[in-house]
Amino acid sequence: MAFFRPRVSREAEVRYHADLEISKSFPELLEKARQAERVLRDLRAADADEIELLAAGTAFDQALTEALRAAEAGQRATFGVRAYDDRIARRKAKATPAGRQWTDEVNRLRTLREENRLWGIPRIPRPVPAVR
C-alpha cells in the first residue's frame, strides 16, 4: 500500500526560492537600519530642528521596513516549502527553535517600526495658504 503525499505547488517553490534570495540581504539591511537609528538618536541628542528629525525618522522607517521584509522572507523560508500551502505545516514550523527565532525577530522589528511611526517622526504642521 503506497501512501499519497501531495507535492507542493510550483508557485510555492518559486516563492520559497525568492524568499531565500531576499533573506540573504537581511544582515546588511539590519545594519542599515541600525545606522539610521544611530543618526536619528544623534540628531535628537544634538537638539536638531524638526525638518532634520523628520528626514531622519523617515529614513529610519524606510530602513526598518526593508529589514522587516527581509526578516519576513527569512521566516517563511525557514518554515519550508510546505508551509506556503499548508497552514498546519506553518504552525508546526513556527514551533521549532529556528522558526521561533525568526518570529521573535519579525515581532521585534514590527514593534520598533510602529514605535518609530508613533513617536519618532515629528509631526510638522502644514503651512496655511494666505487668503486674499
Question: Rounded to whole angstroms, how far apart are CA atoms 75 and 93?
Answer: 10
Q: Give me 7's grid cell.
A: 507535492
Closest by CA position to 22, among listed 61, 71, 60? 71
Contact between 33 and 63 under an 8 Å Cβ cutoff? The reply is yes
Please state, in angstroms and rounded to a whole number, the distance separating the CA atoms of residues 73 and 13. 13
Q: How many CB atoms lie within 10 A of CB 2?
A: 4
CA distance between the termini of the chain:
88
> How do residues 62-98 score in pLDDT, each as one tens digit?
999 999 999 999 999 999 999 999 999 999 999 999 9
pLDDT at 1: 52
Give pTM, 2 decimals: 0.86
For the chain, the domains span 10-120
What is the band of 13 on the pLDDT scale with cuts at 50, 70, 90? very high
Burial of 68 by CB count in 10 Å (0-12 exposed, 13-18 middle, 19+ buried)?
Answer: buried
Q: What letter does residue 70 receive in the DSSP assignment? A: H
